[in-house]
């Protein structure tokens, strides 16, 4: 063990580099890679040993040695914390789903149940990055745009039209010209199905 001793800014533990020799009895090894567990173990330990290996003259941290009972307690706390976060996420997700269902039903009272659920699951799932999670829009706009997108892709020939006549990158020397052609193709396909979308939406907007 070297005599290099550091005190971490993120924990109260004294950190010592273990470059050779064996760790003290009762210590267990935590491999590098789990930042949460490493941080928690340091916060709960008085002394942690930083394991390193040398490659090409440079050290690489492979993990830490910490008291085994500390690592066990840290793992239990981390698991409990993860379960709480998951339950909180599920509550938020169910709340968002219910709000979206209510708003979509308000705008489209005759939307079929299958389509309603498809829109909600596709557009309002936390973390999916779709229009339903766009914070810049209010819920009414989010719902309408999500329904329009769903109709475009599932009730019209839009996807088939998009796959036909798609611009070939090899045919364009300039990348900006290629992107312009792609945008034009997308716009043409949207115009081609706009009447079909309108007809579906009008049917769903009617009172059942």
Give pLDDT tens digits for 166-207.
Answer: 888 778 888 888 888 888 999 999 999 999 999 999 999 998
Helices (H) and strands (E) in the chain, counts: 6, 5
Most confident of 54-58, 126-130, 162-166, 200-204: 200-204
pTM score of the predicted model: 0.66
What is the model's pLDDT at position 11?
58
pLDDT band per the 50, 70, 90 thresholds, residue 21: confident
Of the candidates 149, 161, 80, the residue with the CA atom closest to the CA atom of residue 120:
149
- Report whether 187 contacts 179 (CB < 8 A): no
- Whole-angstrom CA distances from 155 to 51, 148, 152, 186, 188 are 59, 10, 6, 17, 17
């Amino acid at each position: 063990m070297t005599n290099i001793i550091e005190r971490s800014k993120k924990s109260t533990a004294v950190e010592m580099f273990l470059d050779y020799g064996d760790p003290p009895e009762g210590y267990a090894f935590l491999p590098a890679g789990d930042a949460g567990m490493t941080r928690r173990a340091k916060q709960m330990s008085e002394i942690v040993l930083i394991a390193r290996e040398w490659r090409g003259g440079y050290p690489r941290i492979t993990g830490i040695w910490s008291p085994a009972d500390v690592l066990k307690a840290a793992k239990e706390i981390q698991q409990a914390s993860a379960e709480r976060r998951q339950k909180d996420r599920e509550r938020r997700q169910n709340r968002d789903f219910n709000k979206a269902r209510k708003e979509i039903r308000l705008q489209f009272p005759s939307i079929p149940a299958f389509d309603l659920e498809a829109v909600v699951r596709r557009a309002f799932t936390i973390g999916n990055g779709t229009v339903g999670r766009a914070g810049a829009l209010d819920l009414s706009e989010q719902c309408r745009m999500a329904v329009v997108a769903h109709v475009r892709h599932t009730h019209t020939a839009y996807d088939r039209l998009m796959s036909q006549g798609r611009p070939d990158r090899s045919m364009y020397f300039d990348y900006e010209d290629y992107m312009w052609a792609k945008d034009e193709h997308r716009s043409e396909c949207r115009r081609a199905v706009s009447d079909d979308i309108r007809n579906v939406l009008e049917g769903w907007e009617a009172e059942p």
